[in-house]
Each structure stands twice: as C-alpha cells, then as structure tokens.
Structure 1
Amino acid sequence: MNENISQNTTENRFELAMEGKTAIVEYALSGDIITFLHTEVPPQLEGRGIGSTLAKYVLEYAKANHLKVSLQCPFIRSYIDRHPEYTSLLLHQPQ
C-alpha cells in the first residue's frame, strides 16, 4: 500500500488514493521541523489500517529526511504512543 502514498507539496499533505477516495496527512514544514496537523481517512476506507499506514509512512519520511516532528494531530500522537520507536523523532520529548 505504501507505493500508493504520494507527497502533494502544493497542498502540504501526504495522500493515499484508493477506490476513488483519498486519505491524507496534512503537515507544515519549517526548516528541519515537520508538524503533522491532521489525518483524515474517508469513511468508506475506515477500518483497513490506512491511517496507520499513512502514520508510519510520514514518520519514516521524517526520519529519512532528518526532520524533528511536532504534533498537532491526535491520530499521529496515538500512533507514536503505540509505536515508541518513533518517540526519538519528537521535537518535545514526553516526560
């Protein structure tokens, strides 16, 4: 499924198109900090792990590009809570 994810730099989002619908992770990039703002999966695609696939992809993108991660998106935050291997990417480490 990862091969279907693309980065839309015009819209500042990562997109996964499937069955005529598009799931997204919106972001803001400032220097070496990427802020994940919002994750949205269309109702027709929910329950298939698409949000988690996107979360993993964007976090791997941040890691590969040496970006620190700031979170405003509760979905990405909960993904990191379940996958602590990504905690080191966070701009603000949990206490």
Structure 2
Amino acid sequence: MKPEYLEIPLVKNEELLQFEITVEGHKAFIVYKERPHTITLIHTETEPELEGKGTATAVIEKTLAYVEENNFKLIPLCPLVFAYIKRHPEWKRIVDENFKGFDE
C-alpha cells in the first residue's frame, strides 16, 4: 500500500454493505455480504478520479486486515481481490477452507 493511504481509515458501511476509504473526497469500495463468521467480497470499485492511484489496492489490503482482525473467514468472489490474493498467497490464511477457487 502506498504510504499516503496508511492513515486513511477503512469504513464498514453497513447500510450500503461496502467497505470504503475516502481519498480527496472520492471513494474506493468493496461490496460485501456478511454471514456469521464469513465475509464474501463481491465487487471492488474506485471512482474515476482515483483510478490508477493505488486506491483499489489500499481498500483491498485494509479490508483483508479487517477480515483477519475480526476473525472472519473470507470468500473472495471479487476478481480483483482474488487476483490480489493470488499475488500475495500469505492471505490465503484467511480464505474459507470451503472456497476451492485457488485449487483450480
């Protein structure tokens, strides 16, 4: 994560069911679904003003940390999150054992 994003807080917007960060008045977010002990990440998006600035990576990293810190298991259906975990396999430690996508 770029250093300028380290201090930006992650917001769990339970009304919109998304994890968000706000940078320069614009949002990057991941849509999620929560069940007991499991969070499914569905879609990652950044507003056009943030594209190419590393904000998608920042919101992914902050969200993965939240999932781990709160003892959830992860189901990474979002293609960006899935690709991030493939590049950083140490995060497989939080992936739900029933998710077989990385085995194929």
Q: Distance in 2 between matches of 1:10 and 1:56?
A: 22
* Residue of structure 2 aligned with 1:30, choices 35, 46, 56: 35
8 Å CA contact retained: 2:31, 2:41: yes
- TM-superposed deviation, 1:88: 1.6
Q: Distance in 2 between matches of 1:23 and 1:62?
A: 17
Report the TM-score when normalising by structure 1. 0.91
| TM alignment of 1:36-55, pairs within 5 A | 36-55=41-60
- TM-superposed deviation, 1:44: 1.3
8 Å CA contact retained: 2:10, 2:63: no
| TM alignment of 1:1-95, pairs within 5 A | 1-2=5-6, 3-91=8-96, 92-93=99-100, 94-95=102-103
Identity %: 31
Report the TM-score when normalising by structure 2. 0.84
Deviations 1:69-91 (A, max 9, x none): 01220000011011111012111
Structure 1 consecutive aligned stretches of length 4 or more whose deviation exceeds 6 Å: none
Aligned length: 95
| Structure 1: runs of 5+ lacking an equivalent | none
- TM-superposed deviation, 1:20: 2.3
